[in-house]
Structure 1
Amino acid sequence: MFGQWRLRTRLIVTFVSLILLGFAGLSLLAGNQISAGAVEDFERSLAAQATLVARSLREPLEHYVDGEASFATMQTAVTDLANDQNLQITLIDTDGFAWLSNDDSVGNVNLSQDPEVQAVLSGSQNSVFDTRANDQNIDTIYTAVPISEDGYLLSIVRVAAPASATASIINQRYLALAGGVLALTVLAVVAALWLSASFTRPLESLQASALKLAAGDLSQRVSISRQDELGQLGETFNHMAERVEAMLLEQKAFASNASHELRTPLTTIRLRSEALRDGGLDEATTRQYIAEIDDEVARLGRLVNDLIQLSRFDSGRAELGDEQIDPVRLGRSLCQQLQKTAVAKQITLVLDAPDHLPAIQANQSHVRIVLQNLLENALKYTPEGGEVRWRLALEEGYLRSDVQDSGMGLAAEDIPHLFERFYRADKAHTRTTGGAGLGLPLARSIVEFYNGRIDIHSDGVGRGTTATVWWPITSSS
């Protein structure tokens, strides 16, 4: 049942329960201390009163001993003090016999065996307290102090007060404790309500935004007003929402672009096929249409192959190669392979690399896809008479590859989108060269699959482009 409650309710119940349990334990401990402390305080007060009574009776007692005061005078002094201090006062001689009291029930009895009297007779300097029932069977606290002159004991003053007086003190302190606990409990409950609200309010906002996001509102974000774990959770949600929105928008764009890229060659193939089927074409036109169909089929093949490769790398289904690849040897092979294209466009293709570089571990076809794509792009977008320079070097544990061309360059606003699928900075130019905008996304997927990095840099339109790849060097190298 507890698990079915709302989080705020569970937090409040938990906080309040812990607070009440804590206060109950503290009250129990405090209660024991209150009882013991009240008795100690009352005994100290009783001892102080006994000392005061002894000082007040010393002079009358001296006069009485000297015969200068009557017994009635002593009786009056004792009675007045007893009434004033609200005590029972008894005077006891040096043999332990009571000889004067404000209480008529106390006669000339031997009290020497009472603990408080025995302590004074023995010369003890410490006050002794004893609680016992008096003649009326009422619990009473007794203590006694000496009245001395020049070191000689004249008499003993015993004072007594009902033990119920301590109960009154204890009750007063318990009431004060209960009031304090009640006030603290109210404050603690208010604090628990505020604290639970501060915890759950951001979570409720996050839940509402998550539900709206799940319903299709991709613009949902939560406001961040704190820097703790809940604030970090909100930032994580916003980051996730941005990623989801970007991914969905990318998927929509991908579906639109993919359908467009597939529709164009299919339309060409269909139109040329219908023309060939209808007949009536001369031999030259027939050969031209067949060649166009072959070109479009090849283009479709490249497009589908690139999409399959992208899907494998993005889903993690591609396998890491374990071939030890010599980058210098691979570079020379690719330059030789592309030299014919460079010569046809009167472009100078230069490989700038040392005689030896550490090997990289990968599938050679994967490395070829990346580097060949960058080189072909450089040749494709460099005008006749230009130059493509390819540098290979070792840099901080990576093989660094820089493909620099003197071609058409890139606008600053195009660079952030170059790795988006089907994105083309110069769509008209790309159409004529057969590109679909999948080469760079595929290259990045492969490089990142091997924990490398890829970057495209251009100083602007007409100022060339540099494509840089950092490929991890094999540790054994």
Structure 2
Amino acid sequence: MCAAVALAFLVPLALSLGDRAREEAIADAARRSALVTGALAVSTEPAVIERAVAASGGDVATRPVVYGLDVDTGSGRAAPEDLDRARADRRSLVADVAGGVVRLDPVVLGDRVAVVEVFVPDAALGEGGGRRWLLLGAVAAVLVGAAVVVVDRVAARTVDATRGLVQGALAIGDGDLGARVEPSGPRELAEAGHAFNQMAERLVAARADEHELVADLSHRLRTPLTALRLDAEALESDDTSIGTFSEAELDRRRGIRRIRQAIVTLEGEVDVLIKTTRKAVTHDAGPATCDVSEVVRDRMVFWSALAGDQNRPHKVFGAQLRIPAPVPRAELAAALDAVIGNVFRYTPQGTAFEVAVSRRDGYVAIRVDDAGPGIADPDRALRRGTSDQGSTGLGLDIAKRVALQAKGSVSIDRARLGGASVVMLLADPEATPRPVNRFGLVGRMAREGRDQKGTGRRWPRPRPGER
């Protein structure tokens, strides 16, 4: 292909150079003829003409020949019809003859017309043709060699880039989600490399999101598991080693033991599932709204039954009126279950708790207070996957993610009952926007700065057994 392109370029160039050499040889003949025609215009004396012919240069075979005068300037080569045509037309012409071409220039001398002939041999017409073709052949060889080298380098880059894409795809297919490619090669392959890396990043994010969803859904199983465990603990003893029992009683106690063992096993499996699938990703839920009061009343029906079994005093405040929140109902219910479930899990039986709902200043607040030992490190408790009690550490993080989804926040403080107070703030979708006040903004920024430094959430001293 490269050779064909070089030939297509160089062959016309060689022909053009050959034509130029021919034109230059004929132009030289015209110059030599002009010396003789100029002498004829001055004088027709034989001596003058012979001197002009000798002055034109060249060898004897190619010196000008004058026709139509009684001057012996040598034998000519032009055909009689070409001489007649030059005299009749009275203009210069070039005619082919054996061994080359002749240039005929007519000169009007009164009632006579003389013709000056200059012979140009084939060697002069094609002078330098061999060297010219040799030079062009060398140029063609250099061009073909350079094209081969360039094409080889470009092809090597293309092959390397393609091989990198293939290896990256195979690595992703084998489960190595950290595999990436270095975009290189032609622009199209480089763009394909960038697209491959973006696809790999999205695949990692999607898989992490899937794992996180599994972890969160698994954590939600803790609510019914807690209820089953508490119910199982309320059953009679399953000890069959002491005393004499009937077959029916033995079967009943063995059934109780199996139930308790199954619950322990199931809780262990849920913990393993959560810990092995927990990842840190951002979850973007779709827009939805729900009634906070309705969710609180519905969930408290469930938790009130468990609270009655454990002799836990409990109260609900502010859940009578409709209070909207910009989160899906299922998400808010899961967050509320996570917070209340912590109360049942980490406080002794008989510990009082209360749930309060309020709405003001553009926010909806859901507060869960208990009379337990409290939380020693609120900031650590709000970090995902962190727990001092051997659990998965996802409970408060679920509440925090739901609050962030509703453009709010979660805070932990000392409760009025003496234990922990977990407050979820959700943006009120029906609140009227307030105009921005410069001084109010400065004050809010100062308060946020103090909160970030942790000066408003630290308790003076932890209590024994705090979670």
Instruction: Normalising by structure 2, report the TM-score.
Output: 0.55
Partner of 1:81: 56
Secondary structure of 1:91's counterpart equals strand
Partners of 1:253 and 1:159 in 2: CA distance: 105
Q: Choose from 22, 25, 39 the match for 1:42.
A: 22
Deviation, 1:305, is: 11
Q: Are residues 295 and 306 of structure 1, via their aligned partners in 2, closer, same or farther at CA, if it must alter by over 3 Å?
A: same
Q: Choose from 142, 145, 168 the match for 2:102.
A: 142
Deviation, 1:161, is: 1.4
Deviation, 1:111, is: 4.0
Tell me which amino acid in the other structure corresponds to 2:27: A
Count of aligned pairs: 376
Partners of 2:271 and 2:389 in 1: CA distance: 21
Partner of 1:122: 89
Q: Are residues 280 and 188 of structure 1, via their aligned partners in 2, closer, same or farther at CA, if it must alter by over 3 Å?
A: farther
- List aligned pairs for 1:37-436, cutoff 5 A: 38-43=18-23, 45-58=24-37, 60-62=39-41, 64-65=43-44, 67=45, 69-70=46-47, 74-75=49-50, 77-79=52-54, 81-83=56-58, 87=62, 89-93=64-68, 101-102=73-74, 104=75, 106=77, 111-114=82-85, 117=86, 121-124=88-91, 128-130=93-95, 132-134=96-98, 138=99, 140-147=100-107, 155-205=114-164, 207-208=166-167, 221-222=180-181, 228-229=190-191, 231-233=193-195, 235-236=197-198, 239=201, 275-276=238-239, 280=243, 294=259, 327-328=290-291, 331-340=292-301, 341=303, 346=314, 348=316, 350=318, 369-381=330-342, 387-389=355-357, 404-405=366-367, 411=379, 415=383, 417=384, 425-426=386-387, 428=389
Q: Is the 8 A contact 1:378 1:405 kept in 2?
A: no
Does residue 23 (structure 1) correspond to residue 6 (structure 2)? The answer is yes
Partners of 2:251 and 2:408 in 1: CA distance: 43
Q: Is the 8 A contact 2:339 2:395 kept in 1?
A: no
Secondary structure of 1:23's counterpart equals helix
Q: Is the 8 A contact 1:54 1:146 kept in 2?
A: no
Q: Are residues 297 and 390 of structure 1, via their aligned partners in 2, closer, same or farther at CA, if it must alter by over 3 Å?
A: farther
Secondary structure of 1:428's counterpart equals coil
Partner of 1:6: none
Deviation, 1:48, is: 2.8
For residues 203-234 of structure 1, give each alpha carbon's deviation from its aligned partner in whole angstroms, at most 9, with x where no partner exists: 44455566667677776555567993254156
Q: Are residues 355 and 178 of structure 1, via their aligned partners in 2, closer, same or farther at CA, if it must alter by over 3 Å?
A: same
Q: Are residues 35 and 277 of structure 1, via their aligned partners in 2, closer, same or farther at CA, if it must alter by over 3 Å?
A: same
For residues 56-84 of structure 1, give each alpha carbon's deviation from its aligned partner in whole angstroms, at most 9, with x where no partner exists: 2245435652x4x43xx634542552526
Secondary structure of 2:83's counterpart equals coil
Q: Are residues 389 and 148 of structure 1, via their aligned partners in 2, closer, same or farther at CA, if it must alter by over 3 Å?
A: farther
Identity of aligned residues (%): 13
Q: Is the 8 A contact 1:351 1:391 kept in 2?
A: no
Deviation, 1:113, is: 4.0
Structure 2: segments with no counterpart, 5+ residues: 220-225, 274-287, 370-374, 415-420, 430-467
Deviation, 1:34, is: 3.8
Partner of 1:9: none
Partners of 1:465 and 1:153 in 2: CA distance: 128
Deviation, 1:192, is: 1.7
Deviation, 1:374, is: 1.5
Q: Is the 8 A contact 2:107 2:113 kept in 1?
A: yes
Q: Is the 8 A contact 2:77 2:97 kept in 1?
A: no
Partners of 1:26 and 1:108 in 2: CA distance: 40
Q: Are residues 82 and 222 of structure 1, via their aligned partners in 2, closer, same or farther at CA, if it must alter by over 3 Å?
A: same
Root-mean-square deviation over aligned CA pairs: 6.3
For residues 6-65 of structure 1, give each alpha carbon's deviation from its aligned partner in whole angstroms, at most 9, with x where no partner exists: xxxxxxxxxxx4x344334334xxx2454255325522x244324422332245435652
Partners of 1:458 and 1:404 in 2: CA distance: 10
